[in-house]
Amino acid sequence: MRAKSEFLTGTEEMKSELARIVNEITAAQVKQLNQVFQNKSPTSLIHAFETIVALLRNHTNATNVDVELYLVDFTKLQLKLQRIDAS
């Protein structure tokens, strides 16, 4: 069994890693992702992002419209991602 201090260290490491990943996402990447959704509509990618958006909204599911709304404004998306509690 892990000691409480080990667990807390792991949690802090996860939070730090999540913050690093969120900061690496750029507006250009999100714009490019929107173009992929509009031009090709890959089913597996759509389902993956529906799941991600559902988690961000604290819901069990989301629709393609929800995904579109989340990806339309990079600043709002980035703020929502920064507010994730990784603990």
Q: What is the pTM of this model?
A: 0.73
Tens-place pLDDT, residues 2-36: 555 555 566 788 888 888 998 999 999 999 999 99
pLDDT on residue 83 = 85
| DSSP state letter for 59 | S
Which stretch of DSSP H or E encloses residue 1?
none
- Per-residue confidence (pLDDT) for residue 30, from 0 to 100: 93
For residue 82, which amino acid is it? Q
Token couple for 83? 């507010």
Mean pLDDT of 32-48: 92
Is pLDDT larger for residue 72 or for residue 3? 72
Give the CA distances from residue 62 to residues 25, 38, 46, 53, 59, in Å, rounded to whole numbers and listed in that order: 22, 18, 10, 6, 7
User: How far is 68 from 73, CA to CA, in rounded Å?
Assistant: 9
| Higher-confidence position of 7 and 77 | 77
